């Protein structure tokens, strides 16, 4: 798909139409916590970090604007502007059956080198990963053949398209009106996924590619952070309507993982939102979900139960005088960052994958 900017008016209309939450569907007003922005000069918005652990915000990334950061793909992952079309296989690609197929699905306007970064200027899909930013669009192509495998605690090599709030500008997730909901949405396509398994050295874990919407929250009472992941894609699953939600820990903070389906306990997909899948597709689809206050509270209770059983994990110790690791008052929480996470696991020197993702219209909202 060629780039196309979503209109703000269209986003507002869509949010009001699709809301399925505790807010009154017919009277709710969609208020942007942070609406999509159009990046016109991406030079200061690409980052690489080969040292940090986890997927949360780090000092290396900016506040107050959308950005794209790549972790554990090497320090050179985004050093070079490139004119190669990472949106689609070229008509001259050596494998005829792949010619014209989508890679990320995002073909940026010329000069492409303004909007794309890779390991070298003459990079191709065969010898580099690559990343794209244009207006409110982002493209992420991860090719594990092109960077050394390494052990990563609490995650895997990944790319994040996200927005961070400055500390003084962190918005509350909810207000004191009990019908206010929180929502995340983006338009996403995942047109390309291929894995290669060495039959002489099969991995203990087959190559996995995942994509999620996510948000990080700060508990103002305890000073601790936690995260929500709204799962969109995992190649191990086709249409698995009852893929389970769960609470876990990434080595730094606890999080809840919620598949984008109608059985999810902590979030409600928009009625017309696409659903969690393990099958690739071409063309942007809307993925959006609202989180009502009672759903957020249920997640907090389950995180506290998880922490009570795992008190030695970071940030899981009970707070003196509170009897739990985290406050259960939903109005105590503010958002620090949100975005789309593209992450891979199970690759090594012999077992690999390549995967393309295209995102547009990323935003966070309240329904009131």
* Domain ranges, ordered by start, for the chain: 24-367
CA 340 to chain centre: 2
Spatial contact of 243 and 302, defined as CB atoms under 8 Å apart: no
Residue range 328-343: average pLDDT? Answer: 98
Looking at residue 103, its pLDDT comes to 99
Looking at residue 289, its pLDDT comes to 96
Residue range 255-280: average pLDDT? Answer: 93
C-alpha to C-alpha distance for 240 and 174, rounded to whole angstroms: 31
Residue 247 parent element (H or E): strand 246-249
Looking at residue 53, its pLDDT comes to 58
Looking at residue 52, its pLDDT comes to 58
Tokens of 200: 């002489």
Looking at residue 264, its pLDDT comes to 85
pLDDT single digits (tens) 113-170? 999 999 999 999 999 999 999 999 999 999 999 998 888 877 899 999 999 999 999 9
Q: How confident is the model at residue 58 (pLDDT cuts 50, 70, 90)?
A: low
Q: How confident is the model at residue 203 (pLDDT cuts 50, 70, 90)?
A: confident
Residue 327 pLDDT > 60? yes
Q: Partners of 251 in the beta sheet?
A: none
Report the percent of the chain where pLDDT is more than 70.
Answer: 89
Looking at residue 153, its pLDDT comes to 76
Tokens of 89: 């296989």
Q: What is the mean pLDDT of the chain?
A: 90
C-alpha to C-alpha distance for 161 and 134, rounded to whole angstroms: 12
Q: How confident is the model at residue 243 (pLDDT cuts 50, 70, 90)?
A: low
Q: Closest Cα to residue 108, out of 118, 99, 98? A: 118
Helices within 257-354 (DSSP H only): 293-309
Q: Which of 32-46, 178-192, 240-254, 337-351 has the lowest mean pLDDT?
A: 240-254
Looking at residue 7, its pLDDT comes to 40
Q: Which of 5-14, 129-138, 334-343 has the lowest mean pLDDT?
A: 5-14
C-alpha to C-alpha distance for 263 and 231, rounded to whole angstroms: 13
Place of tokens 């997730």: 173
pLDDT single digits (tens) 175-188? 999 999 999 999 99
CA 259 to chain centre: 13
Residue range 54-69: average pLDDT? Answer: 76
Tokens of 153: 């605690």
Q: How confident is the model at residue 51 (pLDDT cuts 50, 70, 90)?
A: confident
C-alpha to C-alpha distance for 311 and 305, rounded to whole angstroms: 10
Residue 61 pLDDT > 60? yes
- pTM for the model: 0.90
Residue range 301-311: average pLDDT? Answer: 98
C-alpha to C-alpha distance for 88 and 142, rounded to whole angstroms: 14
């Amino acid at each position: 798909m060629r780039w196309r900017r979503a209109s703000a008016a269209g986003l507002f209309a869509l949010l009001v139409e699709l809301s399925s939450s505790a807010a009154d569907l017919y009277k709710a007003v969609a208020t942007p916590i942070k609406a999509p922005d159009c990046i016109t000069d991406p030079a200061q918005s690409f980052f690489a970090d080969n040292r940090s652990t986890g997927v949360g915000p780090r000092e290396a990334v900016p506040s107050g604007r959308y950005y794209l950061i790549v972790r554990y793909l090497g320090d050179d992952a985004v050093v070079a502007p490139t004119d190669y079309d990472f949106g689609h296989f070229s008509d001259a690609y050596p494998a005829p059956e792949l010619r014209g197929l989508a890679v990320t699905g995002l073909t940026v306007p010329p000069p492409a080198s303004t909007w794309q970064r890779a390991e070298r200027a003459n990079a191709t899909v065969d010898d580099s990963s690559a990343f794209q930013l244009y207006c409110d669009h982002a493209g992420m192509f991860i090719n594990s053949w092109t960077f050394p495998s390494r052990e990563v605690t609490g995650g895997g090599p990944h790319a994040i398209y996200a927005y961070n709030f400055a500390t003084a500008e962190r918005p509350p997730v909810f207000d004191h009106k009990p019908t206010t909901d929180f929502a995340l949405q983006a338009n996403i396509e995942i047109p390309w996924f291929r894995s290669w398994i060495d039959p002489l050295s099969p991995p203990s874990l087959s190559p996995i590619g995942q994509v999620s919407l996510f948000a990080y929250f700060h508990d103002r009472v305890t000073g601790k952070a936690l995260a929500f992941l709204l799962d969109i894609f995992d190649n191990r699953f086709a249409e698995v309507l009852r893929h389970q939600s769960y609470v876990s820990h990434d080595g730094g903070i606890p999080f809840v993982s919620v598949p984008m389906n109608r059985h999810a306990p902590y979030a409600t997909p928009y009625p017309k939102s696409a659903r969690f899948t393990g099958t690739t597709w071409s063309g942007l689809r809307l993925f959006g979900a609202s989180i009502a206050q009672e759903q957020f509270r249920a997640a907090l209770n389950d995180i506290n139960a998880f922490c009570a059983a795992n008190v030695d994990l970071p940030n899981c110790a009970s707070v003196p005088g509170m009897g739990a690791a985290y406050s259960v008052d939903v109005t105590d929480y503010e958002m620090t960052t949100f975005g789309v996470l593209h992450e891979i696991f199970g690759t090594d020197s012999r077992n690999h994958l390549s995967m393309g993702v295209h995102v547009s219209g990323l935003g966070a909202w309240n329904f009131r």
